[in-house]
Structure 1
């Protein structure tokens, strides 16, 4: 079963970034661009004789044609079903025989494929990836078989999970115009109508070296990797990638409530979501760094201000916090959540949550809050270089959503430059803006276990 990464979220990027004055001193990434436009990035790490290869395609669910939701994820599955020279499943079998591990994931913004193997097997897996970039062979039998697999995956990941069911409906309410409103895995009724032609068209349109990034991290020499990439990927012809629509959300001026009752719910919750800028949708990107710091302050686990106040001090919740996600190609979000403690109704919990939001807006965060958040964000990457797959994940995700290596390298400095005034200004600007989506997850027939 191929993994479906619907939302890596801001946490991955933050976790892997920061700890030293410049991220280049952590990863020491080296980069080149092939003549056909494919970008190659290498992070040398000689701690162990292993390597992670990741190929990132700058295409995801948000690029799907109307009425064809799920085709990006469906194609991810089909990429393992054979090429002109490989039988279905042979790609994975070769990787396994050589002691490697491999998988793939699809998001709204990108699709990525990776293998972790011993360093002397990099040549093999690179050849395999280059082959399926241009030589995919989709057979009708395999396509129909995989349709059943994808529909079953949807049943397991979405239809059997009340929180996932609610999340889909919330996205459809939050985004009025942007394709983020559609689930990455696709709507079931549209998955059922997807055709081989849909998959082939999507593949031929977006799977090309000039729409891809190769990131290699591990026990390798950068120049040798560049030469290897030239050998396998450099001979592939680029394609004309269509210009992407400039999707923009209209101003949100209404409050929307989405409520889902399900007997499988054991812990009620309420979540408040608002649209926010992302790194790609705003000119003054300093605001996004301020919101990153705010996210750590309000949602950084058991030490966050909201958790301490609502769970530890007031005892009205078993969990509470907030987040900001501004890493995608489309609009970002900022939000808050709370799950009531025993004896506390969901209405009471929501009232307490809104009191904390009001306090944030009136009193603001403190200099101490900001300093502590910045230190934690930077310290989180103290062991980043010890990870073999972490650098490939961090860099690939950043580059595939529009950033440069310089943006990645300077991230800790930019976070370190955030001031308390900037955090408070960003919080007030975006949390005071009109419009929000409030979602409530409840057991069927009421708030069982929530104190009613």
Structure 2
């Protein structure tokens, strides 16, 4: 495990950022959503937190898994499923859950943290990594080290199936009930034919609904190992005093080999692909072009294009689509979607105003891309990018949690947190010629995947001859 301590004694508080180098792209085949599911479980406590009697709870949880495995085996039978047996097995599974529940102290992990001054308790799962973070009074450093080392090293899959229901509801809200959510999910599944970036991060319904606590344990054992985790602590802490405390707690986490790097590489795209959704909802246009990962020498050039196209009211897409043509309510471009660890997409989207449609958005965006490929950006645009990039970098380091985030991120991605402070050199090196060269290389039709929502008026119910509907 890599531990980074940055002394910043401006106020008696500290922030931490734990980055596990495993995200939704690392979900096992057939178990999409597992990384996100484990993030939820990290707040359920450990062998010492969240339980009244762990030895007894451990036995009860083992019975839950045995009962679930039996129920799941019968449920998955495509031929010869016995409805009566299935109902009996489901009842046994529910009874086992109820028996295990009596040992649970709900929310104890978060309550201990909050009672000791923790604020901003949260976590997130991206395609590339999973991260945990909060801020706390500096005199609670040792308590935090105990809590964090417990949930990383000794998690317990208690209330797993109850939490699985929560994640399924999250999917229904974010994807199934959202036209844009469904469009983006289909867009990524179309853009990627091999790489896991094309899978649903929150999980396909048929997979997340059947993932088990046993699978979650296996995921933890593989990815939540010290060699795959970076923790940054920033604030009113002295490294000489803090590191021995951190080592005392985190050294107890069982070691394991760093996971083998992914071998799947998305093959080149040779033809334009598209997704069209037709329904009675707000029209939308989205398109993306495959680009290399964050290690590419031109990474800062993509940042420049993002800024010139999308940063504020002086940006090209805003000026053209929103201000001048007045055909869009919003128009933006952004890079590194859905992730940056592996080759991702440079994407553009626009929301048509009433009376306008996705095809107009596409035409207007492509007109701006053609300009980028045939004309140099102005001196003012390039200078604004470099000034804002420097300001954004410094602004992101202004508070403890922002600096902890950046230190952990750069240590994970580059093996050296100092790379963060070399970003300015890369930004300053970007030229007009670089922008035109990259635009001509990436923004081509054969590398394009697009998605749109087209408004279709709802069908009126047919009236019968008797006048009823």
Common fold by TM > 0.5: yes
Other structure's SS at 1:105 match: strand
How big is the shift at 1:261? 2.9
Query: TM-score under structure 1 normalisation?
Result: 0.84
Instruction: Give SS of 2:446's match.
Output: coil
Please say if residues 74 and 150 of structure 1, whose CA atoms lie closer than 8 Å, have aligned partners that are also in contact: yes
Indicate whether 1:207 and 2:224 are aligned. yes
Question: 1: distance between equivalents of 2:181 and 2:211?
Answer: 23
- TM-superposed deviation, 1:308: 1.1
Q: 2:392 aligns with which of 375, 380, 384?
A: 380
Larger Rg: 2
**Aligned: 1:225 with 2:242:** yes
Give the alignment of 1:14-413 within 5 angstroms: 38-87=1-50, 88-101=106-119, 102-139=121-158, 142-263=159-280, 265-266=281-282, 268-280=283-295, 282=296, 285=297, 287-325=298-336, 328-402=340-414, 404-413=416-425
Residues 239-292 of structure 1, C-alpha deviation per residue, up to 9 Å, x if partnerless? Answer: 0233122221111011111112343x33x2212211011124x4xx1x111111
Taking structure 1 as reference, are residues 226 and 436 closer, same or farther at Cα in structure 2, changes over 3 Å only?
same
What is the alpha-carbon distance in structure 1 between the residues aligned to residue 156 and residue 321 of structure 2? 55
* CA positional deviation for 1:412: 1.3
In structure 1, distance between residues paired with 2:7 and 2:279: 49
Go from structure 1 to structure 2 and tell me whether the alpha carbon gap of 1:135 and 1:168 turns closer, same or farther (over 3 Å shift).
same
Deviation at 1:155, TM superposition (A): 1.4
After the TM superposition, which of the residue ranges 360-369 and 99-108 deviates more from structure 2?
360-369
Higher helix share: 2
Distance 1:249 1:201, change over 3 A: same
TM-aligned CA distance change 1:349 to 1:144, over 3 Å: closer
Deviation at 1:103, TM superposition (A): 1.6
CA contact (8 A) 2:408 2:417 kept: no
Deviations 1:160-200 (A, max 9, x none): 22111111111101111110111221111101110111001
CA distance in 2, matches of 1:437, 1:235: 47
Residue segments in structure 1 that go unaligned for 5+ positions in a row: 1-37, 447-452
Unaligned runs of 5+ in 2: 51-105, 459-469
Deviations 1:34-80 (A, max 9, x none): xxxx1111232222221112211111111111001011111111122
- Root mean square deviation of aligned Cα: 1.9
For the Cα contact (< 8 Å) 2:287–2:448, is it kept in 1? yes
> 2:447 aligned with 1:428, yes or no?
no
Contact 1:295 1:323 in 2 (8 A): yes
Q: Could you tell me how far 1:391 is from its partner in structure 2?
A: 1.0
Structure 2 distance, partners of 1:306, 1:408, is: 29
Q: TM-score, normalised by structure 2?
A: 0.81
- Cα displacement (A) at 1:296: 0.7
| Larger RCO of the pair (alpha carbons < 8 Å, separation 6+) | 1
